[in-house]
Chains A and B, each alone.
Chain A
Amino acid sequence: MLKKILTPWTAWLGFLGIILLGGLIAGILVFWKGLGITNLTDLVPWGLWITIDLSSIALGAGAFSLCAGVYLFGLKRYQPIARTATFVGLIGYTMATLALILDIGKPERFWHSLVYWNTHSLLWEVTMCVVLYLTVLVFEAMPIIANLEWLRKRLPKIAAMMERVHHYAPFLAIVGLGLSSLHQSSLGATYGVIKARPFWFKPEMSVLFMLSAIVGGISLTLFASMLASRLTSKAKTNDALIERVAHFVGYLLIGYFYFRAWDALSTTYTYDPGRSEGLNLITKGPLAFNFWIVEMLFGMIVPMIILLYKPARTNRFWRMVALLLVAAGVVAFRWDTNITGLLVVMPYVPGQAIAYTSYKPSLIEIMAGAAIIAYGLTAFSLGVKYLRVVDHSLIEEEHAKVKVEAVEAVGI
Chain B
Amino acid sequence: MTSRFDRLLIALMFALVAAGVTLIIASAQGEKSPAVQTSTDCVVCHTEFEMTWQNGAHGKAGSDPIFLDEWTKQGKPGACLVCHTTGYDPATATYKADGVTCEACHGPAPADHPKTPMPVDRSTDLCGRCHSDTRFGWQDWKVSTHYQRGMDCATCHDPHSAALKKVAGPRTGEQSDNVSQLCINCHKESSMDFSYTAHAQKDISCVDCHVKHLENGERTAHTVPDHSFNASLDSCNTCHAEQMHSPTEAIAPEGTTEPASAAPAEEMKLASVTPEPEPVSPIGFSALAGIIGLAGGMVLAPWLERWYHRTVKHTREEDHE
Min CB gap B129→A, angstroms:
43
List of A residues within 8 angstroms of B279 by Cβ:
285-286
Q: Does B68 contact A (CB under 8 A)?
A: no
Q: Which chain A residue lies CB-closest to B273?
A: A355
A-B contact count (CB 8 A): 57
Q: Which chain B residue lies CB-closest to A357?
A: B271
List of B residues within 8 angstroms of A42 by Cβ:
269-271
How many of A's residues come within 8 Å of B, CB to CB?
23
Q: Does B302 contact A (CB under 8 A)?
A: no
Q: Does A43 contact B (CB under 8 A)?
A: yes
Q: Is the interface of B mostly helix, strand, loop or mixed?
A: loop
List of A residues within 8 angstroms of B278 by Cβ:
285-286, 356, 358
Q: Does A227 contact B (CB under 8 A)?
A: no
Decide: B271 and A281 in contact? CB cutoff 8 A. no
Contact of B291 among A41, A277, A293, A355 (CB under 8 A): A293
Q: Does A104 contact B (CB under 8 A)?
A: no
Q: Does B150 contact A (CB under 8 A)?
A: no
Q: Does A353 contact B (CB under 8 A)?
A: yes
Decide: B273 and A356 in contact? CB cutoff 8 A. yes
Min CB gap B282→A, angstroms:
11
Bound together, the chains give a CA A293 to CA B284 distance in angstroms of 10
Decide: B272 and A357 in contact? CB cutoff 8 A. yes
Q: Does A288 contact B (CB under 8 A)?
A: yes
List of B residues within 8 angstroms of A290 by Cβ:
284
Q: Does B287 contact A (CB under 8 A)?
A: yes
Min CB gap A105→B, angstroms:
13
Min CB gap A295→B, angstroms:
13
> A357 and B273 in contact (CB under 8 A), knowing A289-B287, A293-B288, A293-B291?
yes
Bound together, the chains give a CA A309 to CA B37 distance in angstroms of 93
Min CB gap B259→A, angstroms:
23
Bound together, the chains give a CA A284 to CA B284 distance in angstroms of 11
Q: Does B1 contact A (CB under 8 A)?
A: no
Q: Does A44 contact B (CB under 8 A)?
A: yes
Q: Does A343 contact B (CB under 8 A)?
A: yes
Q: Does B249 contact A (CB under 8 A)?
A: no
Decide: A281 and B280 in contact? CB cutoff 8 A. no
Q: Does B281 contact A (CB under 8 A)?
A: yes
Decide: B280 and A289 in contact? CB cutoff 8 A. yes
Decide: A358 and B271 in contact? CB cutoff 8 A. yes
Bound together, the chains give a CA A343 to CA B271 distance in angstroms of 10
Decide: A285 and B269 in contact? CB cutoff 8 A. no
Decide: B269 and A281 in contact? CB cutoff 8 A. no
Encode B253-278 as 1/0 by CB contact (under 8 A) with A. 00000000000000001111111111
Q: Which chain A residue lies CB-closest to B284?
A: A289
Bound together, the chains give a CA A43 to CA B271 distance in angstroms of 6
Min CB gap A347→B, angstroms:
10
Interface centre among B271, B288, B291 (most CB of A within 10 A): B271
List of A residues within 8 angstroms of B273 by Cβ:
43, 345, 355-357
Bound together, the chains give a CA A353 to CA B274 distance in angstroms of 10
Bound together, the chains give a CA A179 to CA B280 distance in angstroms of 40
List of B residues within 8 angstroms of A43 by Cβ:
271, 273
Bound together, the chains give a CA A153 to CA B75 distance in angstroms of 106
Q: List 10 A-B contacts (CB under 8 A).
A: A42-B270, A43-B273, A286-B277, A286-B280, A293-B288, A293-B291, A343-B277, A355-B275, A356-B275, A356-B278
Closest 3 CB pairs of A and B: A289-B284, A41-B271, A43-B271
